[in-house]
Amino acid sequence: MRSIWNGAISFGLVTIPIKVYAATEQRDVTFHQVHRADGGRIRYRRVCSVDGEEVPYGEVAKGYELPGGEMVVLTDEDFADLPLPTGHRIEVLQFVEPEEVDPIYFARSYYLEPDESGDKPYVLLRDAVERSGLVGVAKVALRQRESLATLRVRDGVFVLETMLWPDEVRTPEFPFLEEEIEFRKQELAMAGSLVDSMRGEFDPAEHHDAYREALQAVIDAKVDGHDVVPPPDDGTRPAEDLMDALRASVEAAKKRRGETSDRPAQKRRRHSA
């Protein structure tokens, strides 16, 4: 794994240098958008809606659109001046019972590895948190965005779970919540029996992505049946064939000038003589 961020855990007066790693990854079958007729990749360009010109990535900025349609353009310098008190620091605010944090707030998971000089305080804090059974509530700034987060221990490593802010969680407003729905006690008892009959211990290894496996099987079958579109010949050559490509280019240039392989050498010898 490659670290995506270096910082520190701020715990009271203790500072623990750490490295941050993405703890999860999406295992999905990825696709490109292609032309159905020949399999050619569909390319997208950054085109300005005002002048119709393609815009280099270095000239792309963030814009905030006002209700009247006017655009406020923000540059990297504007973002650099914003105060981020938790920049490169995970600031632990308090410790709470795990069940007090609704999972709906969780966004992304990250592993925290102690830097070389932070092994001892890291392990000390880890063991103290694990013994307490509590999770830490913290603030952290990742990618120019400040988030709430929880700090818990999993497999001997601190896991940072970034969280949504309360105003980012929608309130469920559905008509049935206002209705008086009646059912008999026997129906409730039967539903409870069904739940009890399905009770068990959760083992993630028992579950698998059947759709992804079936999709991969379809792709493999097309490969085995040679139902694939060869890549277009764009004239490029692999890096390992560079010398052959150069040699072929020289020969092609000579043919265009009507020369043979030994004619330039003869000319050079006559010239030197």
Most confident of 64-68, 159-163, 239-243, 261-265: 159-163
Tell me what pLDDT residue 146 has: 86
CA separation (Å) from 225 to 131, 212, 243?
57, 20, 35
Given the DSSP bridges, would you call strands 135-142 and 157-163 parallel, antiparallel or unpaired?
unpaired
Q: How confident is the model over 34-44, as pLDDT tens digits?
A: 888 888 888 88
Strand partners for 62? 74
**Helix, coil or strand: residue 17:** strand
**The predicted structure's pLDDT at residue 112:** 96
Q: What average pLDDT does the segment 8-27 reach?
A: 87
What pLDDT is recorded for position 248? Answer: 66
Q: What number is the average pLDDT over the span 7-13?
A: 85
Each residue of 29-70: pLDDT tens digit?
888 888 888 888 888 889 998 899 999 988 998 999 999 888
Between 67 and 12, residue with greater pLDDT: 67
Please write the tens of the pLDDT for every residue from 97-136.
999 999 999 999 999 999 888 899 999 999 999 999 999 9
Name the pTM for this structure: 0.69
87-115 b/e (C-beta count within 10 Å ≥ 16 → b): eebbbbeeeeeeeebeeebeeebbbbbbe
